[in-house]
Amino acid sequence: MTDLEIAQQASMEDIAVVAGSLGLGEDDLERYGKNIAKLTDEALKKAEKMTPGKLILVTAINPTPAGEGKTTVTIGLGDALAMRGKKTAIALREPSLGPCFGIKGGAAGGGHAQAVPMEKLNLHFTGDIHAITAANNLLCAMLDNHLQQGNALGIDPDRIVVKRCLDMNDRALRNTVIGLGKRADGVVREDHFCITVATEVMAVLCLASDLFDLRERLSRMIVAYTYENKPVTAGDLKAAGAMTVLLSDAIRPNMIQTLAHTPVFVHGGPFANIAHGCNSLRATRTALGLADYVVTEAGFGADLGAEKFLDIKCRIGGLTPSAIVLVATARALKYNGGVPKDRAAEPDMEALKRGAVNLGKHIENLKKYGVPLVVTLNHFVTDTDEEISFLRDYVESQGAAFTLARVWEKGGEGGQELAEAVEKAVNQPGSFRHLYPSELSLREKIETIAREIYGADGVDFINGTDKTIAHLEEMGYGSFPVCVAKTQYSLSDDPAKLGRPEGFRITIREVYVSAGAGFVVMIAGSVMVMPGLPRIPAAERIDIDSDGNIVGLF
């Protein structure tokens, strides 16, 4: 059976019953049908008064293009903890339509470890991402209207930094020209699009503590620079109020359930390779207030999502994780050992041994944060006993606990070994620390990340990025954490450098500040903020049958 068929046959509880397991009632929910709800302001205030539970981060090694089941393990672990009598909640990101119709798929988990209703979650859901698209593009429209109406702020049309957006992989929109036609059709200029989940508006929504904080952060967003090199903000354009109105529902976390009826908070969806890659701070805090154990995930490999979760989200939100789970798969390790992705499911011990160094580097990296670590192998039916035995020995030789997760096949029952190890981990003494202090310069921060996390020999700054960094520090942004945008397939900024590359340098080709979100973005290598569709996109096989059922969605 496909993931979609398993999800469509699921028997879901009424969302009020699911919320009741966390002490919430009907008045705490704003329903979107029987199985989806947004939390009311009253529910959020109720959670704020509670003692926070244990926060468990799930991350992964560098993946294959198809992903390694990190969300599946997150959901399976949550179900496993709930089966063990723990008051548990799961906190995930909302799926972007780009991957759903592209190559990677959605973000609802898989097999018997899924969040449901799967189709609604992976498609329009409660409209949060659409609201973010609208708010971002309203800002862009108001900026271009300002240029058209006389440009009182003196904006330099060649120094506009905000991009329009669309939640779809559409490479043709990466670089475009707008304002063509008659004089009344606008000022002609070069423009750019990014995917919605890479926008600063998405990052702002995910890091805002409440509606007031959201408006303040939106107001601080830098959208352009004047001819005198002064920043122009969304507040200067008087756009922040209307943007906040568009986002006033979107800022409230959503709740759905797993196949086993464990509560799932799904809110926000920034990509981890081109944004900070974590669900909303508000959803995480709410879950922590209502549950004893909260299992959350951070996108892609630990060099991206986990680093950003620990150095950006935890720093801004004052969070302290109690344990980290590092997900690996035998196929991804063989891929990192040089096996083509279409043969990674075949037995190949030599490739597995070569690729295991990628896992070893991630273990080494995560230990630097002082949080108890558990490694889990997301089991595939093609895994052999020899492969599993080797990886168990390898992980234990690296000083980490090893577990086997069979959650895709068995749901929470298949996650009991992992859940037991996590229970032990969260009760171990930890000494959580960030990779770098805020006082370091921006250059020192990226050099620390490159050296300590990626294993690079150093950093090269091109296209005048060293001058941009100096200017940002002069503007007062030197204390901000750094958010690196780079490929997810390698520890380096070159997707072809698999395993544990050595003797390389990181190239920073673009730098800008997300003043509203509260971090400085550094783009490394050739990563794109607007992805493209593959030769055969998933959209070609997605359809709806004569009974109105969606087919082909994974």
- Distances 127 to 38, 76, 167, 299, 524 between C-alpha atoms, Å: 11, 26, 12, 21, 31
45 a catalytic residue: no
Catalytic hit among 46, 54, 70, 331: 70
Q: What are the φ/ψ torsions at residue 351 (nearest 5 degrees)?
A: -65, -40
16: three-class secondary structure by DSSP: helix
* Catalytic site includes residue 104: yes
Catalytic, out of 72, 126, 296, 329: 72
Is 390 part of the annotated catalytic residue set? Answer: no
The answer to whether residue 451 is catalytic is no
Query: Is position 70 annotated as part of the catalytic site?
Result: yes
Active-site residue flag, 300 = yes
The residue behind tokens 């096996």 is 339
461 vs 472: CA distance, rounded Å:
15
Active-site residue identified among 125, 193, 408, 519: 408
Among the listed residues 278, 285, 292, 300, the one whose alpha carbon sits nearest the alpha carbon of residue 252: 285
Distance CA 186, CA 436 (A): 45
Question: How far is the C-alpha of 402 from the C-alpha of 377, rounded, in Å?
Answer: 8
Active site residue 448: no
Could you confirm whether 285 is annotated as catalytic?
A: no
Please pick, among 101, 300, 402, 504, the residue that the annotation labels catalytic: 300
Q: Which of 345, 368, 380, 470 is catalytic?
A: 380
* Cα→Cα distances 271→97, 278, 531, Å: 12, 8, 11
Are 375 and 330 in contact by the 8 Å Cβ rule? The answer is: no
What is the CB neighbour count within 10 angstroms for residue 165? 28
Residue tagged active-site, from 38, 104, 410, 443: 104
* Residue where the block lists tokens 């198809």: 66
85: left (phi over 0), alpha (psi -120 to 50) or beta: left
- Which residue out of 93, 285, 331, 406 is catalytically annotated? 93
Catalytic positions: 70, 72, 93, 104, 272, 300, 380, 408
